[in-house]
Amino acid sequence: MGAFDTLLWILAVVLVVAGVVSLVRRQILWGIVLIVVGLLVGPFGVSIFT
C-alpha cells in the first residue's frame, strides 16, 4: 500500500465519521452525502482517483 492509498484511506475515514456526526445532528442530507463520498474515495471502494 502506497502513501497515496494511505492518504485516501484516512480521507475516507474522516468523511464517513463526519457524515455520521452530521446524521446525529439531524443534518440528514449532508450526512448521507459525506458518507457516500467517503465510500467512493476510499481505496477499497470505487475510488474516483483511479
If one counts the domains in the chain, the total is: 1
Residue scoring higher pLDDT (5 or 24): 24
36 pLDDT above the threshold of 60: yes
Query: Within a domain: residue 32?
Result: yes
pLDDT at 16: 92
Query: Within a domain: residue 20?
Result: yes
Closest CA to 41 of 14, 23, 18, 3: 14
Cα 19 to Cα 2, 11, 29, 37: the distances in Å are 26, 12, 9, 9
Query: Within a domain: residue 19?
Result: yes
- pLDDT-derived band at 15 (thresholds 50, 70, 90) equals very high
pLDDT at 18: 95
Query: Within a domain: residue 21?
Result: yes
**Cα maximum dimension of the chain:** 36
49 pLDDT above the threshold of 80: no
pLDDT at 31: 93
Query: Within a domain: residue 33?
Result: yes
